[in-house]
């Protein structure tokens, strides 16, 4: 351990943080009491905190540091771009080289005729763009009544008023007057939690057909689009049954509903292909991108749209845009990130090396007494904690109580593994090496053992 000394002592930093810094998705009172963990530097898959602890980051920050930490090339590019042109906008018929280069590169990487990019500063902003774009698209096609966007319960599409409305998180809808009008949520394809006695594939089909039922109920002439993550991330890494996506595609085709794939987490290699849409076999009209686009080194997001959508939107002035749409420094950094992903065949590493290796070890966790199912696609995995595997039981304690205990054990064992309710999730940097995967699994198993012992001690191993 090498303590970092070029900053104030941890306790002083924590006091200042508690006094002045409002954290996202955090009970700020609780945090002030406990003191936040302060991350000071990182390299590869390893974070260092203000006390010199070295922590394996199995979440790649917030699902975003695809190429790993500490790549100097990105810092060099950012510095060069800041010197040359730190800012200019892309409004009113102007543009600049980094935005041009990045848009062309994305068009080359994206499947099919997804050839046009509208830039934003984040995934939330990009999804807000999508709401306005799909509604405007149908208005331009002479069908202004088509304004409803169908999404799913427990989806995450961002935190702004628009994207938070698209998302299906009830705890978010309870605050600040969400959702906005004309957003409709259908059930998610979460077999473990909601599948009951149905075989998994039948359930997947049924949940896809909920889309058709919603379209028929709302009226085909009212529905503009369906939005979904190819594999739900923040909802708990929920891998849909194989029957789900082909049926969704059929329904979107049949009723001419625009399909928006939210690739903010799945995009840029995480599922073993460049895009999650390729992994699940769909042909979206629009893709939302962010996170892995720059590996989190700079804030940038966007919407990739097909030739047809771009032609319709381009037939009029689209009164929409952000000061930082296509920001030159963020664009240059993203472009360098894509160069590394491509030249170092990071996507191939996920598909052929790290992915299969992690899958084998991850799925073996299902033999742990606390683990019900272990699901994984590429570099996104989840395990369901349960007091009774055979019954797929949930704990008698409030949802998240056990997950939180497990997460605390992970943290104590220098592993960042998140919990969503009583589901544990990982999403490590794509460049993780087999020997680092061994460390990840060893720490995860140790944390599960410790969690199990705590549950026994506190008599929490009871089913609801
Ligand atoms: N779509 C998806 C699928 C996401 O996962 C967003 C959109 C919004 O992106 P921005 O860049 O606006 O945050 C996300 C973001 C979590 C967590 O707790 C997940 C996200 C963000 C913050 C926390 O898992 N995903």
Would you list the domain boundaries of the chain? Answer: 37-67+345-457, 73-343
* Cα gap 268→266, rounded to integer Å: 7
Q: What is the mean pLDDT of residues 195-200?
A: 97
Residue 31 has pLDDT above 80, yes or no: no
pTM of the model: 0.97
- The finding on whether 134 has its CB within 6 A of some atom of ligand 1 is no
Instruction: Give helix then strand counts, H and E, for the chain.
Output: 18, 15
Which residues in 178-317 belong to E strands, given as ranges?
183-186, 223-228, 258-262, 286-289, 301-306
Question: What's the CA-to-centroid distance between 158 and ligand 1, angstroms?
Answer: 5
User: What are the tokens at 7?
Assistant: 């900053």
User: What are the tokens at 70?
Assistant: 């500490």
Q: What is the mean pLDDT of residues 162-181?
A: 97
* Cα gap 4→41, rounded to integer Å: 9
**Could you tell me the end-to-end alpha-carbon distance of the chain, in angstroms, rounded to an integer?**
43
| pLDDT at res. 3 | 52
- The finding on whether 164 has its CB within 6 A of some atom of ligand 1 is no
In eight-state DSSP terms, residue 94 is -
Nearest atom (ligand 1) to Cα of 290: 11
Contact indicator for 189, 240 with CB cutoff of 8 Å:
yes
Nearest atom (ligand 1) to Cα of 124: 12
Contact indicator for 88, 324 with CB cutoff of 8 Å:
no
**Domain at 37-67+345-457, CATH from 3.40.50.10490, 3.90.1150.10, 3.10.20.30, 3.40.47.10:** 3.90.1150.10
Residue 50 CB neighbour total at 10 angstroms: 21
**Residues 6+ away with beta carbon under 8 Å from 192:** 372, 373, 384, 392
- The finding on whether 234 has its CB within 6 A of some atom of ligand 1 is yes
User: What are the tokens at 48?
Assistant: 């260092």
Question: 235 preceded by cis ω (within 30°)?
Answer: no
Residue 318 has pLDDT above 70, yes or no: yes
The pLDDT confidence band at residue 35, using thresholds 50, 70 and 90, is confident
| Nearest CA among 409, 434, 424 for reference residue 365 | 424
Residue 162 has pLDDT above 90, yes or no: yes
Q: Dump pLDDT digits (tens) for 108-141.
A: 999 999 999 999 999 999 999 999 999 999 999 9
Q: What is the mean pLDDT of residues 83-101?
A: 97
Residue 331 has pLDDT above 80, yes or no: yes
Q: What is the mean pLDDT of residues 284-288?
A: 98
CATH architecture of 73-343: 3-Layer(aba) Sandwich (3.40)
- The finding on whether 265 has its CB within 6 A of some atom of ligand 1 is yes
Mean pLDDT of the chain: 96
- The finding on whether 124 has its CB within 6 A of some atom of ligand 1 is yes
Q: What is the mean pLDDT of residues 251-256?
A: 98
Contact indicator for 298, 330 with CB cutoff of 8 Å:
yes
* Cα gap 340→322, rounded to integer Å: 27
Residue 186 has pLDDT above 80, yes or no: yes
- The finding on whether 322 has its CB within 6 A of some atom of ligand 1 is no
The pLDDT confidence band at residue 4, using thresholds 50, 70 and 90, is low
The pLDDT confidence band at residue 5, using thresholds 50, 70 and 90, is low
Nearest atom (ligand 1) to Cα of 127: 7
User: What are the tokens at 462?
Assistant: 């009871």
| pLDDT at res. 33 | 81
Phi, psi of 129 (to 5 degrees): -55, -45
- The finding on whether 233 has its CB within 6 A of some atom of ligand 1 is yes
Contact indicator for 204, 242 with CB cutoff of 8 Å:
yes
**Residues 6+ away with beta carbon under 8 Å from 234:** 156, 169, 265, 420
Contact indicator for 58, 44 with CB cutoff of 8 Å:
no
Q: What is the mean pLDDT of residues 382-391?
A: 96
| pLDDT at res. 30 | 75
| pLDDT at res. 334 | 99
Q: Give SS3 for 262.
A: strand
Q: Give SS3 for 318.
A: coil
């Amino acid at each position: 351990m090498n303590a970092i000394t070029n900053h104030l002592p941890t306790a002083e930093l924590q006091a200042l943080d508690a006094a002045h810094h409002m954290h996202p998705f955090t009970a700020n009172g609780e945090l002030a009491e406990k003191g936040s963990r302060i991350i000071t530097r990182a390299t590869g898959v390893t974070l260092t905190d203000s006390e010199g602890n070295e922590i394996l980051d199995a979440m790649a920050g917030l699902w975003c540091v695809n190429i790993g930490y500490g790549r100097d090339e990105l810092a060099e590019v950012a510095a060069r771009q800041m010197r040359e042109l730190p800012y200019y906008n892309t409004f009113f018929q102007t543009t600049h080289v980094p935005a041009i280069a990045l848009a062309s590169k994305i068009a080359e990487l994206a499947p099919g005729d997804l050839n046009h990019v509208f830039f934003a500063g984040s995934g939330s902003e990009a999804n807000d763009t999508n709401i306005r774009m799909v509604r405007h698209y149908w208005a331009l096609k002479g069908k202004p009544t088509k304004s409803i966007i169908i999404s799913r319960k427990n989806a995450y599409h961002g935190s702004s008023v628009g994207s938070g409305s698209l998302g299906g998180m009830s705890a978010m809808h309870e605050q600040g007057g969400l959702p906005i009008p004309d957003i409709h949520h259908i059930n998610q394809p979460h077999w473990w939690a909601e599948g009951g006695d149905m075989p998994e594939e039948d359930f997947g089909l049924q949940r896809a057909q909920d889309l058709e039922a919603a379209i028929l109920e709302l009226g085909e002439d009212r529905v503009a689009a369906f939005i979904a993550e190819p594999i739900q991330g923040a909802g708990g890494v929920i891998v849909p049954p194989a029957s789900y996506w082909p049926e969704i595609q059929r329904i979107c085709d049949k009723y001419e509903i625009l399909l928006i794939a939210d690739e903010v987490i799945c995009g840029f290699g995480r599922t073993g292909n460049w895009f999650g849409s390729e992994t699940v076999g769909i042909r979206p009209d629009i893709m939302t991108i962010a996170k892995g686009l720059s590996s989190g080194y700079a804030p940038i997001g966007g919407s990739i749209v097909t030739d047809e959508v771009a032609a319709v939107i381009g037939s009029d002035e689209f009164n929409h845009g952000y000061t930082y749409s296509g920001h030159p420094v963020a664009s240059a950094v993203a472009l360098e990130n894509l160069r590394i992903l491509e030249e170092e065949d990071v996507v191939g590493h996920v598909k052929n090396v790290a992915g299969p290796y992690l899958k084998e070890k991850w799925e073996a966790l299902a033999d742990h007494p606390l683990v019900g199912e272990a699901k994984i696609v590429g570099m996104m995995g989840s395990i369901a904690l349960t007091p009774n595997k055979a019954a797929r039981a949930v704990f008698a304690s409030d949802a998240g109580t056990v997950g939180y205990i497990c997460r605390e054990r992970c943290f104590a064992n220098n592993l960042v593994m998140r919990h969503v309710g009583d589901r544990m999730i990982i999403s490590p940097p794509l460049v993780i090496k087999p020997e680092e995967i061994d460390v990840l699994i060893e720490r995860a198993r140790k944390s599960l053992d410790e969690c199990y012992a705590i549950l026994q001690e506190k008599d929490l191993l009871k089913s609801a």
